[in-house]
Chains A and B, each alone.
Chain A
Amino acid sequence: MELEPVMGFEVHAELKTKSKVFCGCKNSFGDPPNSNVCPVCLGMPGVLPVLNRRAFELAMRVAIALDCEIAERAAFDRKNYYYPDLPKNYQISQQYAILGRNGRLDIVVDGQTRRIGINNVHLEEDAGKNVHPEHPGAKYSLVDLNRAGVPLLEIVSEPDLRSRDEAEVYMKALRSLLQYCDASDCKMQEGSLRYELNISMRPPGGPLPDYRVEVKNLASMKSVLRAIDYEIRRQTAMLEEGRRIARETALWDDLAGETRTMRSKEGAQDYRYFPEPDLVEVRIDSEWKERVRRELPELQDQRCARFASVFGLPEYDARLLTQSRLLADYFEEAVRLHANPKAIGNWIMTEILRVLGEEVEPDDLKVRPAHLAQLVEMIDSGRISGKIAKQVFPVMLETGRSPDEIVREKGLAQISDASALEGVVDEVIGENAGVAEDYRSGKDKALGRLVGQIMRKTKGQANPQLVNDLLRKKLRGE
């Protein structure tokens, strides 16, 4: 049975505002439990929410960047359910008058552009966190409400993804867009970016399936991909056996490498959505929309084009360097300090890209743009050779020390002083009279052997060009 996956994502991204979405508490990760709370986000009796306009504008910015139709009147609704990490036992979200609809995100997979539909973008408040004690038989859980009330952007895609690769590219592209919009830190490990996968299977090109499996608890992009692989296999097997798959929600168990049913969506939870009476609607006029559009930061495509034209980088390089905003920032900062974009670009692409990962951002590296800039400057000025630089870089990477410091300490500076080299050159010529004679009689290649020996004697620090010049001079008697 030939089947293709039909996939969509519901992505939650915490917006990086200073304050929470409905109160003035600090929006910050990692603080002591229940230290960023107030009566409003604690849902105490008598309190009322007040909309953080900055959060709303950031949400608008992302919706515009995703080409959504922006509502003229956006409003909030209550999603009612009970859970200890939800202090009011309802979440203020959007259901009936959503901020942005019918957008799109274009992704490039194997050289082909695919348009992935965005069903909607809406703003809501995050819940707190339940912490379950590790010892078995514990009869309590702990609740940390620091996260309750943090602004959350929900981005729901259409089920337009047809392969694991497309899913991966989509996740990365959306993440990149959120970072380019400066809307979110997008750190999955901190929970500021969360993916929920909707997946079902159908015969290629067939009608949309009548079921879908919603997979939650995906803590990393890797987990998402593993879950996709697993579900494709599982669902294919079931369908091949002629079994019907019910609409359900499943939890991904990363340790076991499998999904487990959480609840059947046939008897889905009733959230009893109704308009939030404590908040007034937000009227979005075209002037406001235009201002937000104008103030959109440079997005990925624009930046890529700029790197290509202003820095003269090939399309491929520009694309690689702008794949993440933080990387593009890193590159530009280095270039600002030393204007050799081609070389700096190469260093990033060959040496830095490979150490970056889902949890290692350019900002996390010990090697800072200034260090990289200095390294390239030192090569360009002849202070060290490219080869030496390749020895220096790993030390920079590990210790975060500047190349200047490392070169000094290890005495790796290139010897570019002719007088300092004369002695060695004479020595080598003396020790290799035969080779010297070969060169004098026209065998150009013989020079290389002499150069090699000089480099060895100088531990690679001799300036190769200078060595070449000196040898030629001395051998020709000039």
Chain B
Amino acid sequence: MRLNEGTLGGLARWLQAREISSVELTRSVLERIQAVEPRIRAYLTVMAEAALAMAEEADRRLSNGENVGPLTGIPIALKDNLCTVGTATTCGSKILPNFVPPYDATVVERLKQAGAVFVGKTNLDEFAMGSSTENSAYQVTANPWDVERVPGGSSGGSAAAVSADECIGALGSDTGGSIRQPAGFCSVVGLKTTYGRVSRYGLVAFASSLDQIGPLAKTVEDAAILMNAIAGRDPADSTSADVPVPDYTESLGRDVKGLRIGVPREYFVAGMDREVEAAVRAAIAHLAGLGAEAVEISLPHTDYAVAVYYLCATAEASSNLARYDGVHYGHRTAGQDNIIDMYTKTRHDGFGNEVKRRIMLGTYALSAGYYDAYYLKALRVRTLIKRDFERAFETCDVILTPTSPTPPFKIGEKTDDPLQMYLSDIFTISVNLAGIPAISIPCGFCEATGRPLPIGLQLMAPAFGEEVLFRVAHVYEQTTDSHKRRPALE
């Protein structure tokens, strides 16, 4: 096994035992990046030199036993909507082509303090708006399992990088499924935390009341280790929760006896891929076999989730993206002689079509005469969706669903039909609206096309219930094989 193919947990133990060095490990990752990037294109920026410098520093810490933790010396990739000091942060957009932040996102700072090594910034749908990473203004990332298919989105770059062993772990962001759906598509673990569990400071905002940063990793343990490092109250983020952070690795290695698994009838819909449904139902049976109890539940307002999301999220986005105006940073279209032309031409040139679409939708939803009928109404229905979950969790401990209705689709397949694209988030979106945590883990493969295409299993828990997610996910992972398979990419 090459070093870059290891898991975070395993490599951490070797690093701390000084059996390997961070520089070796980082080199292995960088070599892998060089080898497969022409086909995968997961990275917008590879930070080779900086990574090796960080690796050397990590090795120093590891030798001195100074401030060493499981992340010390581990190569991590960061989604390119996370601000990193001194390194371009483009958000996959032409409106921020050379934006070099003078500050780190809080999560980036925390990983730095933990001694992580940053290998690069990964590709995403522009401003995290999309479900395939095809909306990036720079490049299309390929799914390592089938390079003609999408890795999912918007954290497609991070998911692909983890899946292709181009990093040991990664951070992404999730507003409507942007960590979980690509994790499902790439057969890796992806966690969206409870709203407020992780600081959003330094995450370029898309929809402020929905965005959360989370880990993408090769195993459940790896995800737990990353969570330990990034979670917790941040005074710079007023919406970050003042709730103590447990050691999430303590949730691993427990059993699921007596745990009630809620299966929502609304999530097993016509139009779902048959193999996806079969794999997920098999997972339910598997967990039942291990002592869990499957319970049918109902989330009656599920059908409204996509509509609510595309009103709330776009409304907030239309405001959050107003700052990209060419005045004080980012792209400015030259040659205009009045401010209105400068604004309109800059934003016309700088933003891609999906971003424009959402800004217009959001502006409309907030506009005078429509605010009550759209935005306010959406907020009210959002509360109903949240209540659905609260009620459901009275009769179960976790909710289990597929992550996506289909396996990864082909590049270009849905780009002509935005609504079709929006429906790929149908299972993940309610989670963000309710503010609860959810994880996607590998749960099998579709074989119908001849190439194995990943299927993701989603587990949801009540607010601040990440521990039960890790518990169930770990049991499932350790008693199945999907996570051991690697994409055939040589």
- Chain A residues within CB distance 8 Å of chain B: 39, 42-51, 78, 80, 82, 84, 87-90, 139, 143, 145, 270, 272-274, 277-280
Contacts and interface: CB of A to CB of B under 8 A. Distances in A.
A46 B238 contact: no
Contacts of B105: 46
Interface string B346-370: 0000000000000000010011100
B368 A272 contact: yes
Given A45-B83, A45-B96, A274-B371, A51 B322 contact: no
A42 B200 CA distance: 17
Nearest to A79: B319
A82 B326 CA distance: 12
B319 A90 contact: yes
A87 B328 contact: yes
13 contacts: A45-B204, A45-B329, A46-B82, A46-B201, A48-B200, A80-B318, A80-B322, A84-B327, A87-B323, A89-B325, A90-B319, A272-B363, A272-B367
Nearest to B89: A45
Contacts of A42: 328
A43 B237 CA distance: 14
A274 B101 CA distance: 28
B322 A90 contact: yes
Contacts of A87: 323, 327-328
Contacts of B368: 270, 272
Contacts of B238: 48-51, 278-280
Contacts of B208: 277-278
B322 A48 contact: no
A272 B322 CA distance: 13
A56 B337 CA distance: 41
B235 interface: yes
Q: Is the interface of B mostly helix, strand, loop or mixed?
A: loop
B363 A48 contact: no
Contact of A46 (B101, B316, B375): B101
Nearest to A84: B327
Contacts of A277: 208-209, 239, 316
Nearest to A280: B238
B202 interface: yes
A270 B81 CA distance: 30
Query: Which 4 pairs from chain A and chain B are nearest by CB?
Result: A89-B322, A277-B208, A272-B366, A277-B209
Given A89-B322, A90-B319, A278 B83 contact: no
A76 to B, nearest CB: 10
B102 interface: yes
B416 to A, nearest CB: 30
A304 B319 CA distance: 49
B204 A82 contact: no
Nearest to A39: B103
B162 to A, nearest CB: 23
A138 to B, nearest CB: 11
Interface in B52-110: 81-83, 89, 91, 96, 99, 101-103, 105
B323 A89 contact: yes
B116 interface: no
B343 interface: yes
Nearest to B315: A274
B285 interface: no
Contacts of A48: 200-201, 236-239
Q: Is the interface of A mostly helix, strand, loop or mixed?
A: loop
B98 to A, nearest CB: 13
Interface string B402-420: 0000000000000000000
Contact of B201 (A47, A145, A272, A280): A47
A82 B343 contact: yes
A46 B205 CA distance: 6
A39 B102 contact: yes
Nearest to B103: A39
A49 B201 CA distance: 9
A51 B235 CA distance: 10
Contacts of B235: 50
Given A46-B205, A51-B238, A274-B366, A88 B375 contact: no
Contacts of A278: 205, 208, 238-239
B203 interface: yes
A46 B328 contact: no
Contacts of B203: 46
A42 B325 CA distance: 13
Contacts of A45: 83, 89, 91, 96, 99, 101, 204-205, 323, 329
B339 interface: yes
Nearest to B325: A89
A342 B89 CA distance: 69
A344 to B, nearest CB: 49
A270 B363 CA distance: 10
Contacts of A44: 101, 103, 323, 329
Given A39-B102, A45-B91, A82-B325, 8 more contacts: A46-B202, A50-B235, A50-B238, A80-B318, A80-B366, A145-B328, A272-B318, A272-B363
A89 B323 CA distance: 5
Given A50-B238, A270-B367, A280-B239, A43 B323 contact: yes
B319 A78 contact: yes
A4 B26 CA distance: 80
Nearest to A45: B204
B77 to A, nearest CB: 18
Contacts of A280: 238-239
Contacts of B366: 80, 272, 274
A139 B337 contact: yes
A427 B366 CA distance: 95
A139 to B, nearest CB: 6
A49 B81 CA distance: 18
Contacts of B200: 46, 48
A274 B364 CA distance: 13
Contact of A88 (B96, B236, B323): B323
B417 to A, nearest CB: 29
A274 B375 contact: yes
A272 B319 CA distance: 9
A208 B82 CA distance: 54
A407 B21 CA distance: 85
A36 to B, nearest CB: 15
Contact of A274 (B204, B236, B319): B319
B201 to A, nearest CB: 5
A48 B201 CA distance: 6
A46 B318 CA distance: 15
A51 B328 CA distance: 24
Contacts of B89: 45-46
Contacts of B367: 270, 272
A50 B203 CA distance: 16
B366 to A, nearest CB: 4
A82 B315 contact: no
Nearest to A85: B327
Contacts of A272: 318-319, 363, 366-368, 371
A236 B349 CA distance: 50
Contacts of A80: 318-319, 322, 366
A46 B339 CA distance: 25
A46 B204 contact: yes
A46 B235 CA distance: 15
Contacts of A279: 238-239
Instruction: Pick from A87, A90, A278 the residue with the most CB of B within 10 Å.
Output: A278
A45 B278 CA distance: 43
A178 B106 CA distance: 39
Contacts of B343: 82
A80 B367 CA distance: 10
Contacts of B329: 44-45
Nearest to A141: B339
Instruction: Pick from B201, B239, B323, B339 the residue with the most CB of A within 10 Å.
Output: B323
Contacts of A270: 367-368
A354 B327 CA distance: 47
A278 B200 CA distance: 10
Instruction: Pick from A45, A51, A82, A90 the residue with the most CB of B within 10 Å.
Output: A45
